[in-house]
Amino acid sequence: MSNFLITGGSHGIGAALAAQAVQAGHKVVFTGRSEERIAQTEKETGATGFRADVSKPQDNQATVDFALQQLGTIDVLVNNAAYGYGAPIGEMDVDAMRAMFETNIFGLVDLTNRIVPLMKKRQQGDIVNIASTSGMKGHANGTSYAGSKWALRGISQCWQAELRPSNVRVFCVCPSEVQTGWGGTEPGTNPRKLFAEDIALSIMGALAMPARGFIPEFAVFATNPF
């Protein structure tokens, strides 16, 4: 049994992963910004929610304190909290881009920075960074969001180099389009496209590898979404 901390876990991929981890016998704390969504996800998954905004350092410390109180240790950190902002170059709102990076990158780094010393001390732990195929191939209007996911892939590689001697594994997951209702859209029902549960299943499979090995990075695509 492992103890999971999942950011952005009140809906989408985070909620699906919380559900599958609890079903597998693990203990899970997840964060979110909506009390209503947190309560609903707690009811649906059996995981424990905590209201926090990863872009705020004080919230990150409170998250770590709460998770340790509930779990005792943090064995698996899933950095899932993120959102998108898109605009063509020439029309970019750079302040909006900076605000997005506060969540997608700087907040993620801040939270991980608080947890890694605990993992290194125990000489074990798993970190799962949810990037995107947008971080593998650029696209129109993607300067901000795709840029953050390219950055996360590079950060993941740096952490892998730093943390492997401490037996801490860092996985970078790059989902393609997932029907989660992300960005305020309605959740999709197209059976040919990916669902949040598919990404969660791939993460659980990667984590199930023996501790002597890990998958540094993998992308998940729908087989035939057309």
Residues identified as active-site: 145
Beta bridge partners of 30: 6, 49
Q: Which long-range contacts (CB under 8 A, 24 or more apart) does 21-27 make?
A: 21/47, 21/76, 21/204, 22/46, 22/47, 24/204, 25/1, 26/1, 26/2, 26/76, 27/1, 27/2, 27/3, 27/70, 27/71
Number of helices and strands (H, E) in the chain?
Answer: 7, 7
Cα(84)–Cα(177) distance, integer angstroms: 13
| CA dist., res. 175 & res. 31, Å (int) | 20
Cβ count near 156 (within 10 Å):
22
Looking at 46-169, list the stretches that DSSP marks H as alpha helix, in order from N- to C-terminal side.
57-71, 94-101, 108-122, 143-163
Query: At 23, is the secondary structure helix, strand, or coil?
Result: helix
